[in-house]
Amino acid sequence: MLKICSGRAGLVRALLMTGPASVALVLPGAAFAQDGADAAEATDAADADAGNSILVTATKRERTLQDTPVAVSVTTAETIERAQIRDLRDLQTVVPSLSVGQRQSTANTNFFIRGFGNGANNAGIEPSVGVFVDNVYRSRTASQITDLPDVQRIEVLRGPQSTLFGKNASAGVISITTQEPQFEFGGSAEATYGNYDQIVLKGHVTGPLADAVAASLTGGLNKRDGFFRDLGTGDRTNERDRWFARGQLLVDPGNGFRMRIIGDYDAIDENCCAVVNMQDGLATPAIIQTSRISASAR
């Protein structure tokens, strides 16, 4: 309904009638905005109290994942344990942009991030995806494919990272951060038995040595028979035979000075990798039968 007001009295009445409506239109928005800000602050405070914020060091500074202006995927220790991630090859199952390809041996393992990486089957080529363990660069893939020790988190940085990390990391970086020694005694142990006589043993112990000194010791063993058998020689391939030991020493007197000494040793002695048929052709059954006849004749 349209009402036309004339004269001074009509104008005053119109202003008085529209005033409360204008206030009603403005104030709810302000109230909702204030309520939203208060709710966001309360949520952030609750997350901080509950420890739900994820801290990363992708920019060489410890910041939350939300405040880090870098394309980074973070895999926590809980995810690693739940998904049974044993080494960096298994990490590709939880990081979509990461692909790991193993060639003739563990020394010819290549990492690809977003499809970029040097996939040459050459152990002497420095990879374009840098792998760092506690900010220490691993220059060869043979020293990168190992069982993961007491890991706190793994950060996969996508894109060139040479400016921050100082190496030829043109495709990205995989940064592994392990747990620091604790000033309270603690530890963990793991034992697994699987098919092909697989045995996985892991142990971790940490505790104080003095008021300002803490230490930790971690060790592990991973053995398994190969699931491919050569019909000619009878040998098996694609087995597991590796072990590692890692020790840490933390000096923290509490005056701003911190020193962390880390030493680790690991060994891999595996026969990899068997060749399988990705797609059978018309001649495949004849070739397999010929191979079996030749093997039995020997």
Residues 168 and 203 in one domain: no
Last residue in a domain, options 128, 152, 178: 178
Per-residue tens of pLDDT for the chain, all 298 residues:
444 444 555 544 554 454 444 433 334 444 444 444 444 344 443 444 444 566 666 666 666 766 665 677 788 888 888 888 888 888 888 888 888 877 766 667 788 888 887 766 666 777 788 888 888 888 776 676 777 778 888 888 888 877 777 767 888 888 888 899 999 999 989 899 999 999 999 999 999 999 999 999 999 999 999 888 877 788 888 888 889 999 999 999 988 899 999 998 888 888 777 766 666 677 777 777 787 776 666 6
* 37 falls within a domain: no
- Print the domain residue range for 228: 186-268
CATH code, 111: 2.170.130.10
Beta pairing partners, 56: 63
* 28 falls within a domain: no
* 263 falls within a domain: yes
* 127 falls within a domain: yes
Task: Give the predicted TM-score (pTM) of the model.
Answer: 0.67
Residues 190 and 82 in one domain: no
Strands (E), the chain: 55-56, 63-64, 72-76, 98-102, 109-113, 129-133, 136-138, 151-158, 172-178, 186-194, 198-208, 213-224, 228-229, 236-237, 240-251, 259-268
Work out how many domains the chain is built from and give that number. 2
